[in-house]
Structure 1
Amino acid sequence: MVLVGAVNVNMSLMDISKIFSLLQPKEGDEDGEQSQALNNAVSSDDAALLSELLSREDYRKSINARSGWGVPVTPLRTAAAQGHLRCLEILLEHGAEVDCLDVKAQTPLFTAVSGKHLDCVLALLKAGANPNGSPYNNCSPVMTAAREGDVDVLRELLRYGAEVDVRPKVPEWASGGTACGGPLYISAVYGHLDCFKLLLLQGANPNYNCTDQRMLARIKQPKTVLEVCLRYGCGVEYIQLLIDFGADVYLPTLIIDKTTKQNEALVLLLKERVCPKTLMSQSRLVIRGHIPSTDKDPAIQSLDIPQILRNYLKHDTCELTL
């Protein structure tokens, strides 16, 4: 029995070694060697050396080649992951593919967002990077920024047209995993209030999961954002924002018994169920609903109305009274 176990372990190790050997650059592979030289220059943040290498035609031909032991990557991916802006800009100037994928189907933008490298994120977006990342990756730049609480990166992604209600990409049979997913959920669960408000300002659906017919057909009782906020004790600020942005306060199923904490957030929600919205609040919801989701602020600012009303539409002020 011991011998059999040892053989199995040895076979597994041999298989793993074979897999990793396949991922290593092949000797004599000219593209691999030149790409490795480019990657080394980027890793050292040596912009001068990188420029010198790319002045040669043979190196420019290898600019999108992958190299490196274990998980081969392109020089642009290395620059984005490490936050080496000048090297990233040089690579883009010499024609590096802006949305090239690594073995995880992650784009350079995704890795820049993960590393919180705002300057690299901006450079990639300006160069035409897809703000939604790769359709082959289960996550997205927006969801990553929402999880990390990086409101500046999140703002730029949304400004360049990223999908505000992007869903995790999972197969139909795993649809239960999407019952509580999406940027708005993630920002609430991780306690990132600034990201939570920004997503709502940019058109995130406060009733996420409860208006999608495909989702409702697969999940008997999808969780609303309000329910998630109450469950995770997000606080009254989250509940108030959802109410202000038009969440249906009657959707959440609330089981209130002796063990339920009558906290401020729950009290606010129950109060909202018996108090109708003001006319001003309803008007704001209607007007904002007719403004395109991408970068609403400039559209609101261009409206021919008093500044105090523009501020109200942007949620920059408290409730107005007539």
Structure 2
Amino acid sequence: MNLMDITKILSLLQPEEEEDTDTGEKQALNQAVYDNDSYTLDQLLCQERYKRFINSRSGWGVPGTPLRLAASYGHLSCLQVLLAHGADVDSLDVKAQTPLFTAVSHGHLDCVRVLLEAGACPGGSIYNNCSPVLTAARDGSVAILQELLGHGAEANVKAKLPMWASNIALCSGPLYLAAVYGHLDCFRLLLLHGADPDYNCTDKGLLAHVPQPRTLLEVCLHHNCEPEYIQLLIDFGANIYLPSLPLDMTSKDDKGVALLLQARATPQSLLSQARLVIRRALHQASQPEAIDQLDIPSMLISYLKHQL
């Protein structure tokens, strides 16, 4: 954390500078949002005395803007009115959480869509340790995760943790959360959007502090994840020679272990390796959607998209 980060966090903790006589306008805006009264909210914001507080933080608990309040309750019409009147789509509360992060945390898909279409940063705030993608992966909100990734959110994002917490950081990615919480659809979606199946073994900064991290394959085996998780990691190019299987897990009766041992004994087909190369090239070029534009048979396009 640098000085700029500390300064920003301290500024968020500062109370609003407006006089106490202005609290009536803030309360009126918040009450209209709380009541999901978009008509009254629109009428208030047409008046300058109210509109100047459209981005002011207030309220009990975690003070936030009216937009954050609308996102937390899922009051879509109020959210749209606030945005139409120029509310800051990425305004922060005192925890450095954006309205998008709040909507994701509460599972309000429609609000997530509207905020993203209004230009909300799909990664949330750089000043917050978590991210919308991590939250959606943990909660199994596959539709919300699809929206975030479709708007350019980073599939390999990790929680922001100090270097002394390197062991925790290695187990903080979206793939890890989707696996340990049992959200197979989210796990597959992340891989389709370029999530690295070896993400916790490729970060040189972390590897300098944890030279022998537990791979995602090992994590899935340790948590007794369904064999589908193991197969997906193999299909998406995980390094199958990285895991060091404990003696008590090498029984072929374990379907996940059996899949891994079989993959080690049987080289991937040329077709499968070609798919990996093409997908990696497109993701490195930040053009994963270009798969649909390739001049190849539709069956091969479906294969590249893991739909066969």
Q: Is the pair's TM-score, using the shorter chain for normalization, greater than 0.5? A: yes
* Consecutive unaligned residues in structure 1, runs of 5 or more: 1-21, 318-322
Q: Distance in 1 between matches of 2:303 and 2:226?
A: 23
Question: Relative to 1, partners in 2 of residues 1:98 and 1:25: Cα closer, same or farther, differing over 3 Å?
Answer: closer
Q: 2:128 aligns with which of 112, 128, 137?
A: 137
CA distance in 1, matches of 2:189, 2:249: 36
Are positions 1:281 and 2:272 aligned together?
yes
Partner residue, 2:86: 95
Residue 195 of structure 1 is matched in structure 2 by 186
1:241-299 CA-partner distances (Å, limit 9, x unpaired): 00000000000111124896731110110111111000000000001111137673x31
**2:39 corresponds to which of 48, 62, 69:** 48
Identity %: 59
> How many positions carry a matched residue from both structures?
295
* C-alpha spacing 1:69/1:54, structure 2 compared with 1 (3 Å): same
Residues 252 and 258 in structure 2, CA contact (< 8 A), matched pair in contact too: no
Question: In structure 1, how many angstroms separate the alpha carbons of the residues matched to 2:300 and 2:61?
Answer: 57
Look up the match of 2:5: none
Secondary structure in 2 matching 1:290: helix
Unaligned runs of 5+ in 2: 1-12
How many angstroms does 1:314 deviate by?
0.2
Match of 1:161 in 2: 152
DSSP 3-state at the match of 2:69: helix
1:24 shift after superposition: 9.0
Q: Tell me which of 227, 237, 243 is aligned to 1:236.
A: 227
Q: Closer, same or farther in 2 for the Cα pair 1:149/1:44, shift >3 Å?
A: same
**Candidates 198, 201, 209, aligned match of 2:200:** 209
Match status 1:248 vs 2:239:
yes
Separation of aligned partners in 1, 2:16 and 2:241: 59
Structure 2 counterpart of 1:17: none
- Classify the secondary structure of the residue corresponding to 1:119: helix
- More off after superposition, 256-265 vs 164-173: 256-265
Structure 1: distance between partners of 2:16 and 2:252: 59
2:301 pairs with 302, 306, 310, which one?
310
Shift of 1:35: 1.6
- Give the 4+ runs in structure 1 shifted more than 6 A: 22-27
2:200 aligned counterpart, secondary structure? coil
Q: Work out the CA distance in 1 between the residues paired with 2:248 and 2:139.
A: 35
* Among 142, 145, 156, the residue aligned to 1:151: 142
Q: Which residue of 2 aligns with 1:81?
A: 72
C-alpha contact 1:31 1:65 (8 A) present in aligned 2: no
RMSD over aligned Cα atoms:
2.0
Change beyond 3 A, Cα 1:200–1:23: same
The structure with the larger Rg is 1
